[in-house]
Structure 1
């Protein structure tokens, strides 16, 4: 009856089939009970039947129970009744209590022998015909209300059912079919918010063993460092997994390779320590050839032993840094300059007022330098808060136990990018730049590693594939017109890409408004006129003619 929603990989269904749900709600407790539970229920039934025999002869139930217990203590009961009375008692008692026997009598009247089973949850529910359609209508991504499901059952399907019945049933179904079922809120959100997960402890790790990093588009309006316009910086933050101490951060345009590499380089140099493990995002800024190549990648050159990339769509994997960003948002961004906070929970009218005042020039945006100073002061206070796993020690105190592992290179060398090139005639070409040095003659035809600085392209460091230094090659030619340095070249390329995207959007808007000229249609319209002019020339004399190629309406 109910629809099956297959997973993206063709795995298990999201919604349980109706037959299985009905089986969960209408199962037979007696059939599912163990032999020991059934034997105990039979003993209780024997006691109840003896009491009911006395009540049928005119004795009240209370007096019948008391009489049963007195006869049991005196040994005046029939052998089979005495056996059942002893079998229904608790292990440390000779007979059950009066209240327990009275309760068994009431349960037997309502549910029969199955109600006398130990830990019985109630009477068996009979399946209703509208259960299946109700589950089908309720478990859809649009998250319909229970009242809408009830109206559909009554008006379309013709079931004689009340709203209270529908509500009671839908609130009592298993959680995987209830209000927050995967079919209603989506499989990913259900996995993140409803399913059980394993809480991980970092007590066995040492400070500096693992750094965790991620990016966060800060919910605050700043002045762009170049244009001065409204700008939201991309924060790239790294924290130590054991101590939760923030070891480094940067603010950039976006979380690209340049931002991530420089953040790590500055972080490693600041504490003179390279962690054996990095637990990072799966984005392109962390996972690319410049960062991950086994020979020329940043991680290998810095001395990182292993890089673990988080599973996409699973924020629990790097929950330490995600929690840090939440604290930054609630504890710093909302209170630093409240009028410039721009999170989704900011009042829309207040945010619109701030934007209008800034554009009108009546309100000055905070600068990146002001933000950096305030953020560094806040992080210092944050570092001296109690550790979440041990309230008797602060994050800074745990971090002070660090035993540094020095990086393999200086901060200047770590900020360089590297690529493998083949030497030809004592020179190497990288993009539109060519570098040359006499020492390279001995390596003609061989592959070497070229390290270059994005901000200064005058000199490139040449190394063997094993990392041994050869020479510092000098820039001898710049093919075509190029920017002063590679970083500027990247900025120019990014601007060109942005302009191309804008041109495409402008062309689309013009096409929608009917303002673009159809070249094919113009050519087809001009062809008859050109043919007429050609015939007139062929029929005329040898006098020179002036051709009018304009098209008259």
Structure 2
């Protein structure tokens, strides 16, 4: 059991078979060997085997991070063993002498250049005197400070030591000269060895990571306190723990603290280019739960609509939308029907949601001659265009509404709006804060048009005709630019579009009528289906008609809004009834006046309007005068403050008690306000203050 842990523990030497396929390396063993030869990795034969193993310190940084992460994961798996074994690396790992200056850091390059200056000076002096004399002369001049300023400034740098004594010595100069000649006069051989920190995985790491790598994301201090309470061996300091965590790559550090999908935000990704795609070649679609409430046209209750948006990948243009109660095949098909009316597609790129991954949508895509592609599960980054489109269009649109309930909505304001909206719906059937469905749909059309006409930074640049400055094209401009370059959109035939399924609901017929969304639709053919359930297809943008289908999907026909509506009575009969009713009222009024006065009363109705004989100029002047008088009358405004409203009611009550005549608006409000709950509360407050 112990040997298996030793095999999994961190090693300083790895074979090509162990390295193949790791990040930053080829996926095959021969490829790794070729790369090792090309970059001159330090190698040796593995003890007891013919396999060649390579030094960990020579591997690319990306590969080193992957090896270290795997070592931590493997040791964590066997952390239940009584004494896990971890191969200790040396405190300082030194690499072999560099073979190329490209891999040197700035410090190594500076030291290399300083040493090369002394080697070149020895070579020049050796042309006149012996090498031994040249070296002795340089050492003597360096001790006396008689070197040239150029060489004197490079003495300490060439030594690359942290001690106080940094002078030249004969042995040091001979070592530099020998290394330079042995490498074929390669200046990289004079660079100091690179020192790296110890990459040992201490035995306490698995126990600490069990406390730290949790979805609750505890802090280092909290994890260390929990770890220290259960660790029985010599306890590392929290600073040692923090130093070790800094050596881990971000994905290795957050493993367990983040899920698979969240970890992808820390890893490398492949950025897709759309430059070589023509409009209509790829459509992408996704559903989005709207972050604001509107009034449901079916139930009259608040709900959050599900908006399905179809985007053209090449131009980022919104080509189709659909609004429903939840993501479903009907909503997807309605959005797709809207899209193919503008242009057919070749590939329909969607996720694995229930609205897309079903036989109904797949069958329609096949009928349209397209191909449906699904992204990988939990890989929303692959559909970044749709995800970003939701933020740009629908999240911004939702924030314009009072009924917005997104995550960044103020909690108290959201609660207040929630209560007001439902109270108003209950009392009046409509609300000021909850938009009607028709108003919402008008806003949807506006937001789509605004998005399609706004410059998009994912598109190419053009010179603005108004400002003369370069800017990104809008989706509409990119679409029509492709048309000008010879591309022609292929529009789906009208009969095919009509045959595609719209959003549907089941309704029961009543004597040829269908009730839906508060409206009545009529079709004579439905009379024979009285009392039976049928499927009703509708267009969220056109409420003038619906399509009736049998439960088996056979089209019955089109039902028209108020198709059987007519005047309740013929116009002539209404006019005769009004005249008779008017005469009866006159007769009853005359009889009542005679009863009250005891005298004969005769009521004569004028047959000609008093203003009928006035000229046109006089009539116009009279109208203007009436409007002016109406405007001069003070407008009755109701204060928003509870205290001010109660005081206004008191003033009106006093005026009415004094015999003053109130206006129609004042009298109406004075009569209704005492029934309001605020009136009772404010009356109690004023009475307490008066007492």
Change (3 A) 1:78 1:176: farther
- Please list every run of 5 or more consecutive structure 2 residues that lacks an aligned counterpart in the other structure: 9-65, 76-85, 139-149, 165-171, 176-188, 426-430, 463-472, 504-519, 538-547, 552-691
Separation of aligned partners in 1, 2:410 and 2:248 = 38
Matched, 1:105 2:159: yes
Matched, 1:150 2:150: no
The worse-fitting range, judged by mean Cα deviation, of 72-81 and 246-255 is 72-81
Matched, 1:372 2:441: yes
Name the counterpart of 1:500.
none
Contact 2:329 2:355 in 1 (8 A): yes
Shift of 1:407: 1.7
Change (3 A) 1:405 1:351: same
Give secondary structure in 1 for the equivalent of 2:256: helix
Change (3 A) 1:102 1:167: same
Name the counterpart of 1:341.
404
Matches within 5 A, 1:207-246: 207-246=279-318
Q: Deviations over 1:74-99 (max 9, x none)?
A: 346746996xx9xxxxxxxxxx9655
Separation of aligned partners in 2, 1:369 and 1:78 = 97
Name the counterpart of 1:352.
415
Separation of aligned partners in 1, 2:392 and 2:407 = 15
Name the counterpart of 1:252.
324
- Please list every run of 5 or more consecutive structure 1 residues that lacks an aligned counterpart in the other structure: 5-11, 52-63, 86-95, 418-454, 460-473, 492-553
Q: Deviations over 1:267-287 (max 9, x none)?
A: 212x2x211221122223223
Give secondary structure in 1 for the equivalent of 2:533: coil
Shift of 1:386: 2.0
Contact 2:330 2:502 in 1 (8 A): no
Change (3 A) 1:18 1:274: closer
Change (3 A) 1:332 1:27: farther
Contact 1:135 1:177 in 2 (8 A): no
Contact 2:125 2:131 in 1 (8 A): no
Matched, 1:182 2:252: no
RMSD over aligned Cα, in angstroms? 4.8
The worse-fitting range, judged by mean Cα deviation, of 208-217 and 159-168 is 159-168
Change (3 A) 1:164 1:377: same
Bigger Rg, structure 1 or 2: 2
Shift of 1:258: 1.5
Name the counterpart of 1:440.
none
Matches within 5 A, 1:281-360: 281-292=351-362, 297-304=363-370, 306-334=371-399, 336-337=400-401, 339-360=402-423
Shift of 1:333: 1.8
Give TM-score scaled by structure 1 length: 0.58
Change (3 A) 1:475 1:132: same
Separation of aligned partners in 2, 1:34 and 1:384 = 60
Shift of 1:138: 2.3
Shift of 1:263: 1.8
Contact 1:15 1:182 in 2 (8 A): no
Change (3 A) 1:184 1:26: farther
Separation of aligned partners in 1, 2:92 and 2:380 = 42
Separation of aligned partners in 2, 1:122 and 1:101 = 25
Q: Deviations over 1:26-61 (max 9, x none)?
A: 58643x5367489x99xx99xx9xx9xxxxxxxxxx
Change (3 A) 1:226 1:134: same
Shift of 1:194: 1.2
Shift of 1:24: 10
Shift of 1:103: 3.3
Name the counterpart of 2:497.
411
Contact 1:257 1:285 in 2 (8 A): yes
Give TM-score scaled by structure 2 length: 0.48
Separation of aligned partners in 2, 1:102 and 1:109 = 10
Shift of 1:100: 5.3
Shift of 1:397: 1.0
Contact 2:350 2:375 in 1 (8 A): yes
Name the counterpart of 2:584.
none
Name the counterpart of 1:276.
346
Contact 1:303 1:407 in 2 (8 A): no
Contact 1:139 1:177 in 2 (8 A): no
Separation of aligned partners in 2, 1:313 and 1:354 = 35
Matched, 1:163 2:232: no
> Aligned pair count?
385
Shift of 1:104: 4.7
